[in-house]
Chain A
Amino acid sequence: MEPPAADAGAQPFCAWCGGARAEGDHAGCERRLATVDPPRHCPVCARRMVVQVDPVGWTARCSRHGESAGTNGFA
């Protein structure tokens, strides 16, 4: 299964707010993902993910699209 984080920018949903990327302005969302927030919504289906943050990274699990991981957000 392709981890949702891999090409988040090409996916239909915003990983921060869960809204459709094609609609509205997500520049503010991207700023947050680039600084202080891990992804909270699956970029493939917009479901809220179970996210765990630890000192060195984060993991995010979508019940449908599996787990992704990173250190500092998607951006």
Chain B
Amino acid sequence: MTAVETGGTGEETGGDGVEESSAVVSGDVLAVAREQVLERGVGLTEDQVLAVLSLPTERLEEALKLAHDVRMRWCGPEVEVEGIVSLKTGGCPEDCHFCSQSGLFESPVRAAWLDKDRLVEAAKQTAKTGATEFCIVAAVRGPDAKLMEQVRAGIAAIRAEVDINVACSLGMLTQDQVNELAAMGVHRYNHNLETARSHFPEVVTTHSWEERWETLQMVRAAGMEVCCGGIVGMGETLAQRAEFAVQLAALEPDEVPLNFLIPNPGTPFAHLEVPQGADALMTVAAFRLALPRTVLRFAGGRELTLGDLGAEQGMLGGVNAIIVGNYLTNLGRPAEQDLDMLETLKMPIKALNDTL
């Protein structure tokens, strides 16, 4: 598998030059971050994040090391392991340009519902890996009565047989639905802002960034943990990547899942490049430096973008959570491989009683 070169010089870092960004950050940004983020726990500003993203590849190793120190200092050594499953796949009315599950594109992904037995089995298999989180996901704009009923029945069936926190990701919610999910005991709700506010209209036209933000506010107010991240490599500039990092920081989410674009056939982003490893790892480090205390999770796309060695570098570069096993429509590497990696890295898996 691909190792990500940290010493090379040939990597493009994108459209924004180092000179331009260093003009607004006085001193070396990593030295500044060491004092500000590592010592004081204050996340980087937008300009500072941009300065990190604009660092030459020769400094990647140093940035990852600092991000790792920040994670160890403010989050600790535990890694949160999660499994996810698609309860309702495909046929979504929205037009998120990266998504193979939109019914508006000529994607090969066909609509399907997972039955309850298989849902419970998926939760069991996930718990066996030592995971503490199991997230039920549906490809919808927001839930209808049928989906809410399926989720309710699914959660009850999981509860009866499996000891694991249940999270949900069901799109945009009404206040009533937020209340219902909280009453069902949903521990955490995932709803990704996906990208910087300024880039969102290039990615989704059927709903707005602000609508997503509103759902997240209701989720938090109802007492559920907020899980909100996005996808790197959707044509955003480095400045927009920095903008996204601080917008996430302003949300103060409990968890940020970081995905790297998998260009899916039939989608408007099918022809974008797979994000490059060094660039992706610098993004990991920069996000950790912007979000010193959050659970920063490796989600989809790491297999194509980083390969096996790059995943290790990310785990040693600020990441403290992973999704194990397969994703919603894409496959991951076998869970054992990730568990072996954590053992090699001597990173303990967060236990269920630590999460309560």
Contact = CB atoms under 8 A, between A and B. Distances in A.
Interface of A: 16-18, 35-38, 40-41, 48-58, 71-73
Contact of B108 (A18, A53, A54): A18
20 contacts: A17-B265, A18-B108, A35-B331, A36-B301, A36-B332, A38-B331, A50-B110, A51-B112, A53-B86, A53-B327, A53-B331, A54-B114, A54-B118, A54-B125, A55-B83, A55-B324, A56-B122, A56-B125, A58-B331, A71-B334
Contacts of A50: 110-112
B330 interface: yes
B73 to A, nearest CB: 32
Nearest to A70: B331
A71 B126 CA distance: 14
A52 B265 CA distance: 17
Please report whether the interface of chain A is mostly helix, strand, loop or mixed according to DSSP: loop
B262 interface: yes
Given A35-B303, A36-B304, A53 B334 contact: no
Interface of B: 83-86, 89, 108-112, 114, 118, 121-122, 125-126, 262, 265, 301, 303-304, 324-335
Given A40-B108, A49-B110, A50-B110, A55 B125 contact: yes
B334 A48 contact: no
B83 to A, nearest CB: 4
A7 to B, nearest CB: 20
A38 B326 CA distance: 10
A1 to B, nearest CB: 20
Given A35-B331, A36-B330, A71-B334, A56 B110 contact: no
A49 B111 CA distance: 10
Contacts of B109: 40, 51
Given A36-B330, A40-B109, A56 B304 contact: no
